[in-house]
Structure 1
Amino acid sequence: MPQPRKHQISLADTPYYHCVSRCVRRAFLCGEDKYSGKSYEHRRQWVEDRLLLLASVFCIDVCAYAVMSNHVHVVLHVNKIQALNLSDYDVIERWQKIHKPTELVQQLFTNQNWHTLPENQQEPVTNAISTYRKRLYDISWFMRELNEPIARQANQEDDCTGHFWEGRFKSQALLDEKALAACLVYVDLNPIRTQIASSPESSMHTSIKKRLNAFQKGYQPPSLMPFKQGPSLKQHNQLPFTLVDYMQLIHFSAQRFRRCAKNKIVPPTIVKTFGKSESAWLELIYNFEDVFGVAAGESESMERFRQNTGRAWLKSTRTIRPLSLVANPV
C-alpha cells in the first residue's frame, strides 16, 4: 500500500529529493513506439519546457533531470525559506504564471490595496495567498503541475482519455552529500546507462547536456540550481560541489558505463573524498534507484529520517550496503 507523502518528505532532514514519474497503458512519453512505429520524440521538449517553466514559478530548484522514453527523472531542491520570505505580491505574481487566481485576488492584485479592505473581505485574499505560498514549496504540487498538462497534451494527440501517468510519482529523500552526488550522476547518465545515448554530450533533454553547453560558454544555466563557486566555501542555495569536480565525476562515470572505452580516466578526487572504491561507486550509480527506497544516505541519517517520518523501517538492499559501508576507500 502506498505511503502518505508525510512519510516520504521531511524538510527537517533534507531539502533534496529524487522524483520519478512513469507512464501507463504501454504509452510512450517520447521516442519511437516499436509496435506502431510512431514517433513521440517531440514530447521530450514538452516535458523539458514545462519543467524549466515550473522552476521559475516554484521555490523549488531543479538540480538534474532526464526525460526518458516512458518516464522522467528529476532531482529537486526545496527552498522553503525563499517561499516564506516572498511578499504577498510576489506569491500571486508567481502563481498566476500557471494558474488564474480567484477573481477577487486578481482584482486586488492589480490594485495592490487589499490591506485597506474591511477585515471580512481581507480574509478570502489572505487565505488564498497562504494556500499559494504553501504550494510553492510543495513537491507534490510541483510534480502535479509537471504531469497534468503533459497528460492532457498527450491524450489530445492520441485522441483518447484516461490516465497517462501512473497514479503516484516515486520520491527518494537524498539525506547527505554522498547520496546527492550519486543520485545526480545516476539521473544525468540515465540515457547512457540504458544505452540510448553514447555520451553526456549526446544525451538529449537532460540537465547534463544543458550544463555542458553552458559550461563551454563559461556560465551555469540560470534555470538549474548552480554548483558552488569555490572548493572551501558552502554557499547558500548552491549544490555542495564545484562544477569542475562534478564534470570530472560525470566523465569518469560515463566512460566506465561504456565498457568498450579505450582510454582509462583516473578516479576523480571526489570519489576518494566519499571514501569509495571505483567499483563500489560505479555499482552504486548504476543501481541507485534499486538500492534505496524512499530515502538514501548513511546509516545515521537514514535512522533519523525513519524516526522523523514515523516509518517502521527503510529499504537499503544488502547486495549493495549503505553508502558509508560500501567497499573500502580507494
Structure 2
Amino acid sequence: MPRPRKALIAVEDTPYYHVVSRCVRRSFLCGIDNETGENYEHRRAWIEQRIRLLASLFAIDICAYAVMSNHLHIVVKIQPDQASNWDLQDVLSRWTSLHKSTLLVKRYLANGTLSAAELDTVHHTADVYRQRLTSLSWFMKCLNEPIARQANKEDGCTGHFWEARFKSQALLTEEALLSCMAYVDLNPVRTEMAETPESSDYTSIKERLTPSFDLLQAIAEQTRQGNLHHFRHPLKPLLPFEGALVDQPQQGILFNLSDYLLLLDYTGRAISTDKSGLIAGLLPPILQRLNLSQQEWLTRATQFETRYTIFFSRRAHRAAA
C-alpha cells in the first residue's frame, strides 16, 4: 500500500530526495517505440527544459537528472530557507509565472490601489504560494501536468500520460546522495542509450560538461506554448559541487566535481560490457574517503532504484545486503 507523501518527505531529516516518474504502462512515450516505430524523442527536451525552468522558480535545487524514453529521474535538494528570503513581490511573480492568480494578486502586481484588508488577503495568499514553492509534490505537479497536456494535444487524445504517483526516496547520507547521482547520470550508459556520460543527452552530467548549455530558447518555447505566463527570474544553475567540508555552512554538494567525474568514468567503464576490466582494479580516491569497496559502489551505482525503494542510508544498505 502506498505511503502518504508526508511520511516520505521530511526536510528536517534530509533535504535530498530521488524522484522517479514513469509513463503509463511504461510505454515509450518520450523516445522511439520499437514496436510501432513512432518517434517521441523531442518530448525528452520538453521535460528537460521544464525541470530546469521549475528549479529556477521553486526553492528546490537540482543535483542530477536524466530523462529516459519512458521515465525520468531527478535528484533534488529542497531548500525552504531560500523561500523564506523571498519578499512578497518575488513570491507572487514566481507563482504567477506558472499559474493564473486571484484578481487581488493581479491588481497588486499591476501596482493597483488595495485597501488594508485586501492587502492582508494578498499576504495570506502569498504565504500559501510560498509553501507550495518549497513542496516537492507541487514541483512534480507543475512538471508532469503541462507535459501530459502537451503530449495529449500532440497525439490528439485524452487520458493519463504519467502513472498516478511519482516515487520518491529519501537520501539520508553523503554516500546515498553520491551513489544515487551516479545511478541517475549513468542511466543512459547502463541502458545502452549512450556510450559515455558526456554523450548522454538530456542528463545533468551533460549539462555540467557543456558550458554552452542555453535555456533562453527553452523559456521562449515554454512561454509560446502557454506553459509559462511571464518568466522574469534568472536561471538557477545545477547545485554546484563545493568540495570538502569547511568551517562554514555549505549549500552545495560536499565533493569536488573532478572527483565525481573520475568516479563516473570509472563506474561507466566497469559496467560497460565492451570495456570490462579496463580500470576495474583502480578505486578513485573519493571511494576511499567514503570507505566503500569497488563491489559495494558498483552495486549502489547500478541497482540503486531496485534495491532501495523508500529511503537509503548506510544502515538500510546493510539490512538489504
What band does the TM-score fall into relative to the shorter chain?
0.7 to 0.9
- Is residue 2:165 matched to residue 1:168? yes
Corresponding residue of 1:118? 116
Corresponding residue of 1:38? 38
What 5-or-longer segments of structure 2 have no aligned partner? Answer: 214-234
Q: Do 1:151 and 1:165's aligned partners in 2 also have CA atoms closer than 8 Å?
A: yes
SS in 2 for 1:173: strand
CA-to-aligned-CA distance 1:46-101 (integer Å, 9 cap, x gap): 00111111011001001100000100000011000111121111101111111122
Q: In the alignment, residue 84 of structure 1 is paired with which amino acid?
A: S
Give the % identical residues.
47
Corresponding residue of 2:224? none
Superposition map of 1:188-203 within 5 A = 188-203=185-200
Superposition map of 1:66-215 within 5 A = 66-111=66-111, 117-119=115-117, 121-214=118-211
Q: State the shift of 1:236 in Å.
A: 2.7
CA-to-aligned-CA distance 1:13-70 (integer Å, 9 cap, x gap): 1000000000114532322111211100100100011111101100100110000010
Structure-2 separation of matches of 1:27 and 1:129: 39
Corresponding residue of 2:231? none
Q: How many residues align?
A: 297
Corresponding residue to 2:287 among 267, 271, 274: 271
C-alpha spacing 1:112/1:129, structure 2 compared with 1 (3 Å)? farther
CA-to-aligned-CA distance 1:194-253 (integer Å, 9 cap, x gap): 11111101111000111112399xxxx95211110x434265321111111111111111
Corresponding residue of 1:313? none
Structure-2 separation of matches of 1:26 and 1:200: 24
SS in 2 for 1:267: coil
Corresponding residue of 2:308? 292
Q: State the shift of 1:263 in Å.
A: 3.4
Q: When the two structures are superposed, what TM-score results if normalisation uses the length of structure 2?
A: 0.87
Corresponding residue of 2:256? 242
Q: In the alignment, residue 206 of structure 2 is paired with which amino acid?
A: K
SS in 2 for 1:260: helix
SS in 2 for 1:227: coil
The more displaced of 72-81 and 232-241 is 232-241
C-alpha spacing 1:222/1:123, structure 2 compared with 1 (3 Å)? closer
Structure-2 separation of matches of 1:102 and 1:195: 48
Q: In the alignment, residue 128 of structure 1 is paired with which amino acid?
A: T
SS in 2 for 1:241: coil
Corresponding residue of 2:244? 231
Aligned CA RMSD, in angstroms, stands at 2.0
Corresponding residue of 2:13? 13
Corresponding residue of 2:225? none
Q: When the two structures are superposed, what TM-score results if normalisation uses the length of structure 1?
A: 0.85
- Is residue 2:51 matched to residue 1:51? yes
Structure-1 separation of matches of 2:120 and 2:299: 55
Q: Do 1:59 and 1:78's aligned partners in 2 also have CA atoms closer than 8 Å?
A: yes
